[in-house]
A and B are shown apart, each in its own frame.
Chain A
Amino acid sequence: MPPVEKDAGKNELKSRIQQLIDANQVVVFSKSYCPFCLKVKDLFKELNVDCNVVELDLRDDGSNYQEMLLEMTGQKTVPNVFVNKTHVGGCDKTMQAHKDGSLQQLLNGEAEAYDYDLIVIGGGSGGLACSKEAAALGKKVMVLDYVVPTPKGTTWGLGGTCVNVGCIPKKLMHQTAMLSTAMQDARKFGWEFDETVKHNWETMKTAVNNYIGSLNWGYRVALRDKKVEYVNAYAEFIEPHKIKAINKRGKETFYTAARFVLATGERPRYLGIPGDKEFCITSDDLFSLPYCPGRTLVIGASYVALECGGFLAGLGLDVTVMVRSILLRGFDQEMANRAGEYMEGHGVKFIRKFVPVKIEELEAGSPGRLKVTAKSTETNDLIEEEYNTVLIAVGRDACTDKIGLGKVGVKVNPKTGKIPVNDEEQTNVPHIYAIGDILEGKWELTPVAIQAGKLLARRLYGGSTLKCDYINVPTTVFTPLEYGSCGLSEERAIELYGEENLELYHSLFWPLEFTVPNRDNNKCYAKIICNKLDNERVIGFHYLGPNAGEVTQGFGAAMKCGATKEQLDGTIGIHPTCAEVFTTLDVTKRSGGDISKAGC
């Protein structure tokens, strides 16, 4: 057959191909020797689906077919698969479609039946990032977000925990507390001002919440601009591809989608003791509390507990932290204890090895007076104490129990409520994915959720294969003395590599800014953990000192690049800074050498 030269011939070929596509449930344009084509043909055989195979290498006009397919589908390679008149793509795409269930839908002729390509449940950092990315890739996307009020009635706007009741207000209030330290230092530097310095809780609260208001609005606008449909309603699965959305007036609406992303996040856990929900607050309430909390008991030693206790003490309040066992579970314990010691040295009281058993209200008010009864975890001792506010920060529970996951068969860890996913954030139900704080064994950090959400959308709709890397994630706890870390804790490193295969370098340091006020000498601390079996590669980075987030971020990048001790030593420090300590670490922990520092 002569090559197709004229438009007439071309059109004729095009309609011939189109007829093939229209007339058959499955058409595979293939080459008989191609292993990928074989894989696809085998898949359909396995699925017991008749497929019409066109072996292009066995036809004289095969290359014309291939040219025309390129024109029609943008794909030149084989196999080129069509199911129920829909172009699926090549081998990878077909296998992916098989894995996530969309191939089965296509085979069943359900392709166009859904309202949306993607419905994201939860408008927090992860959900918003994922939905916007999917919409930018041309998909029809809906996000549902609904904040169930706290027992105290606190509620907030779009954007999830980080923006409304997490990172953002937390760091602004931490900054408020740091300013108090700065003011004390200021006198030593020659600033003279009146003795009476007061803090106004309401002013801070209003300013912080005004900023949050602007962020809420910004998120709403971004969804409009990216053409993501937003619904302020509580979503619950009722069928594998169908959810029920209930808005605040109780109106029910139903939506269907080909795929779902669960991004519902977590909420603070209560204690389950008398008086906890009635009289206590959590971090969900604290940041918009209309009155200064006064004498406060913080229950728990999570990072939320230490951060909140830390800034409340920094505002000048009488703060006690009640700890059941250890500080900052999961973090490097040496660092956690040093951060705790610093707090203790700066006015925060710790009650260790006690758990509350009962909270009673002595007097209502703003704040009122509460009586807390606690018992020892070791003896039968009971203690009673009075506080104005009791803040519970003993952990957070994934919001996975009331969204109908049982109905659609999504596996949830019954103990933790967390959702196990594969390395592509896919649950055991192929068309349902999950990201963010609800994932089992993953980081509960906003930037991780954002990264995972974005990359998931790109894999689903942008042909990307890049997966979210959960290794060497830098993070910072904003305790009064901040703690930044990246990679493994000392405990975890020993567990994984064995103590003999590790070299730990560490040092105390005294920030220049602390010298003139003459405070906190030998409180700041730096430690790296290196793998001796791998060229002393840095596998753990720990920093306790000012601006920990700013310091840790860059070293996080270095660790992503596989930085070794030698490379840190070869790095020129910036003088005078805190971060430069990492370029001159020369005392190993094993040596027991002196690590205290004085002067340049």
Chain B
Amino acid sequence: MKQVKMAHRLLLRTVRSLSVKETRCLPTCTRITSHSAYSTSLRSAAHRVSFLSSSRSLTRSSQRKVSFNVQDQEDFTERVVNSELPVLVDFHAQWCGPCKILGPRLEKAVAKQKGRVAMAKVDIDDHTDLAIEYGVSAVPTVIAMRGGDIVDRFVGIKDDDQLDSFVSKVIGQ
């Protein structure tokens, strides 16, 4: 188990250096204004990603709703980190206006892929530790995960076309 963890970390490091691009995007990440009291830091170097469990559940059905709400850390590990499918993780908050616009758009883009990609929703106030651990600074933040690794991410709002191409890129990888 420990070795698997190590392997994952190494893999992550490699993947990060090769393919994680900082997808800088429109500064619409906070509910109130783009210059709200929390500064939006988009540095991706600060991510600390840990893997609590790396055992893969090979039996999981691929028939799911377009998105699911992450219940806790364990649920996240099982359904996101260990997912066979690539997963888009939508970190959002109740108080965040842009999140309410992005969420449905992202669900639409994911639905178009007919089960080739999953979508997880994480409320950052309910699951602060997860959001802190994954380096979320502003919301909405969307992280694309594949095989437990972060392969891409963006912060803020995107339009349908941009989301479609983001999602296809994640699947294509």
Any B CB within 8 A of the CB of A470 = no
Chain B interface bracket (under 10, 10 to 19, 20 to 34, 35 or more): 20 to 34
Residue A535 is within 8 A (CB to CB) of chain B in the complex: no
In angstroms, how far is the closest chain B Cβ from the Cβ of A498? 45
Cβ-defined contact, A214 with B37, below 8 A:
yes
Q: How far is the CA of A218 from the CA of B137 in the complex (A)?
A: 7
- Convert A303-321 into 0s and 1s, putting 1 for each residue whose CB lies closer than 8 angstroms to a CB of B: 0000000000000000000
**Cβ of A225 and Cβ of B93 under 8 Å apart?**
no
Chain B residues near A157 (CB-CB < 8 A): 125
A210 part of interface (Cβ distance < 8 Å):
yes
Number of A residues near B (Cβ < 8 Å) is: 17
Q: Once the chains bind, are B132 and A213 in contact (CB under 8 Å)?
A: no
Q: Contacts A213-B125, A214-B36 hold; do A221 and B31 have CB atoms under 8 A apart?
A: no
User: Dominant SS at the A interface?
Assistant: helix
List the B side residues contacting A217 at CB < 8 Å. 38, 93, 124-125, 139
Looking at A157, A212, A220, the one whose CB has the most chain B CB atoms below 10 A away is A220
Contact B137 A221 (CB under 8 A): yes
Closest to A210 in B: B95
A222 is an interface residue with CB less than 8 A from chain B: yes
User: Are A224 and B37 CB-contacts (below 8 A) given A214-B93, A214-B96?
Assistant: no
Q: Tell me if A211 and B38 are in contact (CB < 8 A).
A: no
Check A214 against B41 for contact (C-beta < 8 Å).
no
Q: Is the CB of B10 closer than 8 A to any CB of chain A? A: no
Chain A nearest Cβ from B72, distance in angstroms = 14
- Residue pair A218, B37 in contact (C-beta under 8 Å): yes
> Which residues of A have CB within 8 Å of B139?
217
A214→B38 contact, CB < 8 A: yes
* B46 contacts partner chain A, Cβ-Cβ < 8 Å: yes
Q: Does A215 interact with chain B (Cβ within 8 Å)? A: yes
Residue contact A211 to B95, C-beta cutoff 8 Å: yes
Q: How many whole Å from B4's CB to the nearest CB in chain A? A: 27
- The CA of A432 and the CA of B32, in the complex, are separated in Å by 39
B132 lies within 8 A of A220 (CB):
yes
Please judge, given known A-B contacts A225-B41, A225-B46, whether A210 and B94 are in contact too, CB under 8 Å. yes
Q: Nearest chain B CB to A535's CB is how many angstroms away?
A: 41
Report yes or no: B94 in contact with A213, Cβ–Cβ below 8 A. Answer: yes
Given A221-B137, A225-B41: A214 touches B132 (CB 8 Å cut-off): no
Closest to A209 in B: B95
Which residues of B129-149 are within 8 A (CB) of A? 132, 136-139
Docked-complex contact A215 and B37, CB < 8 angstroms:
yes
Q: Which residues A201-241 have CB closer than 8 A to chain B? A: 209-222, 224-225
- With A211-B95, A214-B95, A214-B96 as given contacts, are A221 and B132 in contact (CB-CB < 8 Å)? yes
Asked whether A211 lies within 8 Å of B31 as measured between CB atoms, the reply is: yes
Q: Which residues of A contact B128 (CB under 8 A)?
A: 220
Within 8 A of A (CB), among B100-158: 124-125, 128, 132, 136-139
Contact A211:B93 (CB < 8 A) given known A218-B37, A221-B132, A225-B41:
no
Interface residue ranges of B25-53 to A (CB < 8 Å): 30-32, 36-39, 41, 46
Question: Which residues of chain B are within 8 angstroms of A224 by Cβ–Cβ distance?
Answer: 132
State A157–B95 Cα separation when bound (angstroms).
13
- Mark each residue of chain B from 59 to 96: 1 if its CB lies under 8 Å from any CB of chain A, else 0: 00000000000000000000000000000000001111
Question: CB-nearest residue of chain A relative to B124?
Answer: A217
Q: What is the minimal beta-carbon distance from A121 to any residue of chain B, in angstroms?
A: 20
Interface centre among A209, A212, A219, A222 (most CB of B within 10 A): A222
Q: Closest CB of chain B to A208's CB: distance in Å? A: 10
Q: A221 and B95: CB pair below 8 A?
A: no
Given A209-B95, A225-B41, the answer on whether A214 and B125 have CB atoms closer than 8 Å is: no
Asked if B46 and A214 make an inter-chain contact with CB atoms under 8 angstroms apart, the answer reads: no
User: CA A212 – CA B32 in complex, angstroms?
Assistant: 10
Shortest C-beta distance, B168 to chain A (Å), equals: 31
- How far apart are the CA atoms of A209 and B30 in the complex, in Å? 14
Q: Which residues of B contact A213 (CB under 8 A)?
A: 93-95, 125
Q: A211-B32, A214-B31 are in contact. Are A221 and B94 (CB under 8 A)?
A: no
For the complex formed, measure the closest distance between the CB of A132 and the CB atoms of chain B, giving whole angstroms: 13
Asked whether, in the complex, the Cβ of B38 is within 8 Å of the Cβ of A221, the reply is yes
- With contacts A220-B128, A221-B132, A222-B38 taken as known, whether A214 is within 8 angstroms of B94 at the C-beta atoms is no
Assembled-state Cα–Cα distance A260/B39 (Å): 28
CA distance in complex: A218, B93 (Å)? 12
What residues on A are CB-neighbors of B32 within 8 Å?
210-211, 214
Q: Cβ of B138: which chain A residues have Cβ within 8 Å of it? A: 221
In the complex, chain A residues whose CB is within 8 Å of the CB of B97? 210
**In the complex the two chains form, what is the Cα distance from A516 to B24 in whole Å?**
49
- Smallest CB–CB gap between B88 and chain A, Å? 21
B95 neighbours in A (Cβ, 8 Å): 209-214
Set of chain B residues within 8 Å of A209, measured between Cβ atoms? 95
Closest residue on chain B to residue A157 by CB atoms: B125
Contacting residues of chain A (179-217) with chain B, CB-CB under 8 angstroms: 209-217
Q: A212: which B residues are within 8 A, CB to CB?
A: 95
With A209-B95, A214-B96, A221-B138 known, 16 other A-B pairs at CB within 8 A are: A210-B32, A210-B97, A211-B31, A213-B93, A214-B37, A214-B38, A214-B95, A215-B36, A215-B37, A217-B125, A218-B36, A218-B37, A218-B38, A218-B39, A221-B132, A225-B137
B residues with CB within 8 A of A: 30-32, 36-39, 41, 46, 93-97, 124-125, 128, 132, 136-139
Report 25 cross-chain contacts, Cβ distance below 8 Å, ordered by A residue.
A210-B96, A210-B97, A211-B36, A211-B95, A212-B95, A213-B94, A213-B95, A214-B30, A214-B31, A214-B32, A214-B36, A214-B37, A214-B38, A214-B95, A215-B38, A216-B125, A217-B93, A217-B124, A219-B38, A221-B132, A222-B38, A224-B132, A225-B41, A225-B46, A225-B137
